Amino acid sequence: MEIERILVVTAHPDDVDFGAGGTVRKWTQAGISVSYCICTNGDAGGADRDVPRSEIPKIRQAEQRAAGEALGVTDIHFLGYQDGDLQVTQDLRRDISRVIRQVRPQRVLIQSPERNWDRIYSAHPDHLAAGEAAIYSVYPDSRNPFAHPVLLDTEGLDAWSVEEVWVMGAPEVNHYEDVTEMLPHKLAALQSHESQTGHMEDLEGRIRTWMSATAIDAGFGPDALAESFRVVNTA
């Protein structure tokens, strides 16, 4: 299967950079067009209590755009749902389906709708909701011309079938990406999220530890760094 376009659907700004930043950079370096769909406005994020909450969505959107540029991604769709209260609603499914029909990706990268007890940070309620809504949007919504009729009847967006889904943060994985050479790009993307990572001590050390453990699980070399996924055929 030839991959020309990939859509990443996540709950918050920065989720893709933590979970798959190295892999995204491998894709864009290979000439694949990558787009993001960010479900929430990120207004519950940040560590500085002196920054007004009303300013956080604008800050986090700008940070995500900068992080995207570090990985070669410029097409970013912000849905604007409230951070911390994401629900699997028909509205959310429609909005994700809209982006799928606009981008027309062969592959969609989503967050896991299943809780991973070994990696509790990946199982934020918003992550679970974003993953559940995204897989519903892949199947059956975006491929069914009669689902969310406003998309076709009013907006002229015809049905689109996604052939493959990659899941990050899944309890069970079946695919690893060696992203050792992509570490500087991943770190640059994460550092762009100043409101989220600026207060973290030894960010690079944390990332190396996580990715090294994943590489060991994958059976890669002793100095390798990796990201893991569950790949699902949705053709």
Q: Encode pLDDT of 28-41 as tens digits.
A: 999 999 999 999 99
3-state percent breakdown (helix, strand, coil) of the chain, nearest 5: 45, 20, 35
Q: Residue 67 is which amino acid?
A: A
- Are the beta carbons of 185 and 21 closer than 8 angstroms? yes
* Listed range (21-25, 43-47, 88-92, 117-121) with the worst mean pLDDT: 43-47
**CA gap 174, 171 in Å, rounded:** 10
pTM confidence score? 0.96
| CA distances (Å), origin 205, targets 18, 154, 208, 217 | 13, 50, 5, 18
The CATH number of whichever domain residue 33 belongs to comes to 3.40.50.10320
Q: Encode pLDDT of 43-67 as tens digits.
A: 888 777 878 888 889 999 999 999 9
The count of domains in the chain is 1
Range of the domain at 101: 5-233
